[in-house]
Structure 1
Amino acid sequence: MDTIETQGVTIPRLGLGTFRMPGVSAQPAVETALSLGYRHIDTAAMYENEAAVGTAIAGSGIHRRELFVTTKVWHDQLAPEALQRAFATSLEKLKMDYVDLFLVHWPSADMDIASTLTAMARLREHGYARAIGVCNFNMPMIRRVVEDIRVPIAVHQIEYHPYRSQAPMLQYLRTKGIALTAYAPLAQGRAASDPILQSIGLKHNVSGSQVAVAWLLGQEGVIAIPKAARTETQKANLDAASIRLDDEDLSLIASLPKDQRFVNPPFACDWNATD
């Protein structure tokens, strides 16, 4: 599987997302994914499935060093002491001594970005998290982290799919050597029934969803973590990594609306902020 190297870690470019797999429901999905060859698993404290993910990994027989495991801290736990407690709880549930990537899940309006990222950097320095990063930050927040606070983040995880342009953010991250992880890469299922993506899929004898995954994986510096509980869907996403879209395909995808956002909770930051 293709990988991206950033901040001293090597990340498989296709991972398994586990959002909306609460409790033990995540365990069989992770077990199947690992058996198929997935080596990148994405979870979060808010998903309430870290224990199930940890159990699946522990029983897989795969050496821990061969896996890349991401978890995240929720936006009400971003003060340094609360963050450290939340991180310790995540490690305990995952049954691990360290995670490969630890992320701020969402920023909060009253967070002290410098204190939060500094506390995360300490976890990295002590080997509890091999790399750190953020999710759902707007451009001014990312610039502050990178240029003012100067904390070395490996990843920015944001909503990215054929209906959502992230061109300015992606361009900035590339210049800084930071990977972009695309969550909701299938636009919460909309890609499967899109006529344009289906027509491209027909040309390649694949599905519209596979076209969406292939489109993301064909971009420099982009990682995709589609959620997939069923074996056939997990395998289809793996197979999408080998699809090569041509210029005609890319032009058709470019014609899709690029202003659609499907994940926009009331506590989200101002996406349009510029300074």
Structure 2
Amino acid sequence: MHLPPVGLGTMGIDDPATVTAAVDAGYRHLDTAQIYDNEGVVGSGVAAADADRGDLTVATKLWIDSLASADVRPGTEASLDRLGLDRVDLLYVHRPRGDYDPAATLPALEEVREAGLTDRVGLSNFEPDQLATAREHLDAVAAHQVEFHPFFWSEDLLADAREGGYPLVAYSPLAGGAVFDDPTIRAIADDHDTSPAAVSIAWATSYDPVVTIPKASSRAHLEANLAAAELVLTDDEVARIEAIEREAELFPE
């Protein structure tokens, strides 16, 4: 599926006006999840925005207690009710644990898709072997959402996305704010007269087929994150960021 380079991650957003401002600023990919407890916030923000629903990609994720085959459709319907939508564009398995059973969960998700409650099925926080198993039970992996920032990213998952022809959706691209303190990223930002946030977003989106979903609340930061996709880093700058030691996973299992 096609996703814009920068979308909006909404974890922690509790004001519909932020979502409305994002859509009005040009965001067309909005990502939420059951566990964020803000699907209603996102839905209200979308409803108030001046944009055609058909131009938006709204994604949510089923939490681990909604992944038993009998719970997938009721869980999806509950999310749609909170969002105030009759379908979502992208529905993820949030994590392959809890009630997740690929042979039961994934066919149930295909049934939800065939019923018109979602356009596409995605996966999140899977390892390569789990992706391989999932492909045995899905018509297609529409997208894979993973933690991806200068201090934690997986070349194996990037390679799988390239081979599978689906977008890798990078969450937490600013590493919870840690990018602002990294000397390599700060130096590159100074060279471009921009911010470490912009450099980190540009670095993530420099990898095909990576798109990213940073969170922002103020209009200024929303606009800056969108504009960061236009920043072009040199091969040397990308390599310098690649060389940063990878050890800071923010959201381990």
1:243 to partner: Cα distance: 0.3
> Which blocks of at least 5 consecutive residues in structure 2 are unaligned?
none
State the alpha-carbon separation in 2 of the partners of residues 79 and 116 from structure 1: 6
Aligned to 2:117: 128
Aligned partner letter, 1:15? G
The superposition leaves residues 162-188 of structure 1 with CA deviations (integer Å, 9 ceiling, x where unpaired) of 111311111122111121111111111
- Is the 8 Å Cα contact of residues 110 and 138 (structure 2) preserved in structure 1? no
> Which blocks of at least 5 consecutive residues in structure 1 are unaligned?
1-5, 269-275
Aligned to 1:159: 147
Q: CA RMSD in A?
A: 1.3
State the alpha-carbon separation in 1 of the partners of residues 155 and 98 from structure 2: 25
Secondary structure of the corresponding residue to residue 157 of structure 1: strand
Report percent identity of matched pairs: 35
1:192 to partner: Cα distance: 1.8
Residue 237 of structure 2 is aligned to residue 249 of structure 1: yes
Residue 202 of structure 2 is aligned to residue 210 of structure 1: no
State the alpha-carbon separation in 2 of the partners of residues 185 and 20 from structure 1: 15
1:118 to 107, 111, 117: 107
Aligned partner letter, 2:132? R
Aligned to 2:184: 196
Aligned partner letter, 2:9? G
1:150 to partner: Cα distance: 4.2
Aligned partner letter, 1:232? A
Aligned partner letter, 1:45? Q
1:30 and 1:109, CA in 2 relative to 1: closer, same or farther beyond 3 A? closer
1:65 and 1:31, CA in 2 relative to 1: closer, same or farther beyond 3 A? same
State the alpha-carbon separation in 1 of the partners of residues 128 and 248 from structure 2: 18
Aligned to 1:88: 77
State the alpha-carbon separation in 2 of the partners of residues 256 and 212 from structure 1: 12
Aligned to 1:33: 22
1:110 and 1:82, CA in 2 relative to 1: closer, same or farther beyond 3 A? closer
Q: Name which of structure 1's ranges 150-159 and 202-211 shifts more when overlaid on structure 2.
A: 150-159
1:248 to partner: Cα distance: 2.1
1:259 to partner: Cα distance: 3.2
- Is the 8 Å Cα contact of residues 67 and 99 (structure 2) preserved in structure 1? no
Structure 1 residue runs of 4 or more that deviate by more than 6 Å after TM superposition:
none
Aligned to 2:58: 69
Secondary structure of the corresponding residue to residue 146 of structure 2: strand
Q: How many residues align?
A: 253
Aligned to 1:271: none
With structure 1 as the length reference, what TM-score do the two structures score?
Answer: 0.89
State the alpha-carbon separation in 1 of the partners of residues 105 and 138 from structure 2: 13
- Is the 8 Å Cα contact of residues 107 and 138 (structure 2) preserved in structure 1? no
State the alpha-carbon separation in 2 of the partners of residues 113 and 54 from structure 1: 29
Q: Where does 1:156-195 land on structure 2 (aligned, <5 Å)?
A: 156-195=144-183
